[in-house]
Amino acid sequence: MKIAFWRNLTVFEGEITMTIRDIAKAAGVSAATVSRIINHKDENISEETRRRVLQIIEEHEYVPYAKVRDRLLQSNRTIGVILPSLGSPFFASFIEHIQTLAASDNYTLSLYLTQNRPKLEEQAILHFLDIHALGILYFPESDNGIAALKHSQDQLRSAVLMDCETPEFPFPQVYRDFFNIAKTGTTALLKQNNRRLVLLLSGEGSFRVHEQLADGYREAMLSYGITPDDSTILKADDSFHTAFEQLTDAGIDGVICQNAYLTSEVYCIASRKHFLIPSDLSVLCLEDSISLEQLLPPVTAIRTDISQMAKTAYHTLLSQINAKKNVFPSQTAAFSLIQRRSIQAHKEFATKIMIAGSLNMDITLKVPHLPHMGETLLASHLDYWTGGKGANQAIGVSRFGANAYMLGRLGIDPYGRQLYEQLSNENVDMQGVSFVNSHPTGTAYITVQGNGGNTIVVNPGANATLTPSYVAENQALFSGVLYCLVQMEIPFPSVEKIFEICGQMNIKVILKPSPAQILPPAILQELFLLVPNQEEMAVLCPNENTPELQARTMLSKGVQNVIVTLGDKGCIYVNHEGTMHFDAYPYPSVDSTGASDIFISCLAAQLANGCDMKKAIELSTLAASFSVSKEGVQNAILNREMLYDLYEKKFSISVNQLEE
């Protein structure tokens, strides 16, 4: 038995406690002997017996009942509340509201925590009867306690049965409408075309609540013509993680969680499996909590009006205490759907982006400054990063919320296996990637100086075997592609073949001309978007001396859109309608390697998901600016929700506004 007092609240954490008879039996003495020792009337009792009894009392934390009763009666203004625990944010909030209401009327609140144990529910009711509590607010977890409360109606002045609709019950009931809560939450996902759903229930709690939630879920699914399989209703027991991961592997696209704890578990599993919420998996919680606002993305949830529910229960109890009513109708608590950012419409035709380019192991050397000709420098640090412009862009596309399909070649070596595993773990489709015996995996040697400036030397390796014939063999992978991202670290005839296929299939090509070379008319005339930096643009268009004039020359040769990246000065966007300048965002420069890859992958993903060009460039500029503050390329790529969160914090603009 554990008792704590503060303000007008008494907390009684239930345990199955020992009585005087239990102590007497354990000590091998009579109950009268135990009573005399407790009450200091033990003059004629041996010291050995006395020590044995006191030791048992201490071991079992026995508190003489009279002392407990004296503390709890408190002038007979005690209201009892029976809860499973305070671990749930709902229960914690409810008791806070009840405590405030009781204090305003000078009532003492006595809280009994039953720890999800039916025996303690019965004990709690008997406890409040014994101390003559004025009334009880009772959240049952089992039928045992409900039966005990029903049998106590002649002894109990007032009670309210909470969160449990029970027909023909002698006391009034105030409860959450779990059937319609689950139905509303499930319908919210179904309205967004999420069809492969799972209902996740807590491991503990009332079976009645679980039944109502499951029935509401089934009703919503049936209303959309879907017959839910029982395997899609999971209870969070010891086998939960395995079962849930099997369902995610089978392709579910939405999860309805009973509470905030389960929601956080789903977020952890999604992170471990490299699922993006909500682009890969929509998540909704049936019990709102402040913690759900802190997750990224914040969780859409059902919010019960706990304050109003507490007032209804409290005033219903007082009306019985004051004999103002004899008949009380059952009352349901109001609830509403709180839209946040964890639900996304399921696209029947997913945004598909092909990335054709290099796959390298980046070997990065930190140096005091970039070396001059003939100069030898000592590096202060050496790092290995999976990279290559193709790999960087593929991972970026996936993290920024589109489906990435990679076309490339790897060597049969540790670097190649590491790259393949890394991209697979990032949900990049690797059907277009194969291993070759004849060449090692491509490598890039990168020197990075203190301000983030760098130079790169690339050994193509297996990238050189990405031939036109290999591209042709994989033409079927281009089906359904919206955008194709191409770099020039692969053989140029293969670049030309990719443009040929994209032209035939009406796929928009975005080209990063690195390393730069003069481009033939056939490529320029098929090019949707050209994204060079200033140095590359000078190679492409040597006869003009400003980025805007150079871009306009490219437009005159058939390119539809040009973005020239300007490092820490941002970029300019030029098309036939005019020129726009976008400033970079001020982040400390640690490593600028791959910033253009991050810019391009973010841009393509935003465009594929329906963003207009201006907004896509704003988001991509932010993603690239942020990336220079981190070491390594892939380490610096945000995911879509992190990017949106960063944008909203800077500009106080909602995601919906971003996508308008």
Is 619:585 a contact under the CB 8 Å cutoff? no
The whole-number average pLDDT for the span 357-381 is 88
Please tell me the least confidently modeled range out of 30-34, 158-162, 403-407. Answer: 30-34
Closest alpha carbon to 26 in 66, 54, 67, 48: 54
Structural domain boundaries in the chain: 2-17+62-171, 178-306, 352-512+584-659
Asked whether the predicted pLDDT for residue 237 surpasses 60, the reply is yes
Number of H helices, E strands in the chain: 24, 27
Distance CA 522, CA 403 (A): 28
Check the annotation: does 544 bind a ligand.
Answer: no
**Partners of 366 in the β-ladder:** 381, 448
pLDDT value, residue 264? 92
Q: Find the length of the chain.
A: 660
CATH 3.30.360.10 fits 352-512+584-659, yes or no: no
pLDDT value, residue 452? 67
pLDDT tens column, 73-85 = 444 688 889 888 8
Strands 527-530 and 561-565: parallel
Please tell me the least confidently modeled range out of 63-67, 170-174, 508-512. Answer: 63-67
Determine the Cα angle at 627 with ends 625 and 631, to 5°.
Answer: 140
Decide which of 3.40.1280.10, 3.30.70.20, 2.30.30.90, 3.40.50.2300 is the CATH code for 2-17+62-171.
3.40.50.2300
Q: Residue 337 — very low, low, confident or very high, per pLDDT cuts 50/70/90?
A: very high
pLDDT tens column, 418-470 = 999 889 888 888 889 999 999 999 998 888 887 767 788 888 999 999 999 99
Check the annotation: does 482 bind a ligand.
Answer: no
Check the annotation: does 194 bind a ligand.
Answer: no
pLDDT value, residue 653? 58
Second CATH level (architecture) for the domain 178-306:
3-Layer(aba) Sandwich (3.40)
**Partners of 406 in the β-ladder:** 355
Q: Residue 6 — very low, low, confident or very high, per pLDDT cuts 50/70/90?
A: very low
Closest alpha carbon to 214 in 171, 245, 272, 258: 258
155 versus 289: the higher-pLDDT residue is 289
Asked whether the predicted pLDDT for residue 485 surpasses 50, the reply is yes
Active site residues: 597
Token representation of residue 608: 């594929």
Please tell me the least confidently modeled range out of 24-28, 153-157, 303-307, 466-470. Answer: 153-157
The whole-number average pLDDT for the span 485-501 is 95
For 339-473, strand residue ranges (E) read: 352-356, 360-366, 381-387, 403-411, 429-436, 442-448, 454-459
Distance CA 137, CA 145 (A): 12
Check the annotation: does 388 bind a ligand.
Answer: yes
Distance CA 157, CA 143 (A): 21
Q: Do domains 2-17+62-171 and 178-306 have the same CATH topology?
A: yes
pLDDT value, residue 184? 95
pLDDT value, residue 477? 87
The whole-number average pLDDT for the span 379-392 is 88
Please tell me the least confidently modeled range out of 10-24, 312-326, 334-348. Answer: 10-24
Q: Residue 11 — very low, low, confident or very high, per pLDDT cuts 50/70/90?
A: low
Asked whether the predicted pLDDT for residue 525 surpasses 80, the reply is yes
Check the annotation: does 392 bind a ligand.
Answer: yes
Asked whether the predicted pLDDT for residue 67 surpasses 70, the reply is no
**pTM for the model:** 0.53
Percent of the chain residues past pLDDT 90, beyond the cut:
40
Q: Of the ranges 108-117, 132-141, 144-153, 257-266, which is most confident?
A: 257-266
Q: Where are the alpha helices (DSSP H) in 79-117?
A: 89-104
Q: What is the mean pLDDT of the chain?
A: 85
Please tell me the least confidently modeled range out of 204-208, 359-363, 530-534, 547-551. Answer: 204-208
pLDDT tens column, 289-330 = 999 998 888 999 999 999 999 999 999 888 888 776 555 677
Please tell me the least confidently modeled range out of 16-25, 379-388, 519-528. Answer: 16-25
Q: Residue 415 — very low, low, confident or very high, per pLDDT cuts 50/70/90?
A: very high
Give the contacts of 597 (CB within 8 A, at least 6 positions apart): 389, 392, 393, 396, 512, 633
Asked whether the predicted pLDDT for residue 349 surpasses 50, the reply is no
Closest alpha carbon to 500 in 465, 464, 475: 475
The whole-number average pLDDT for the span 519-547 is 93
Check the annotation: does 627 bind a ligand.
Answer: yes
Asked whether the predicted pLDDT for residue 14 surpasses 60, the reply is no
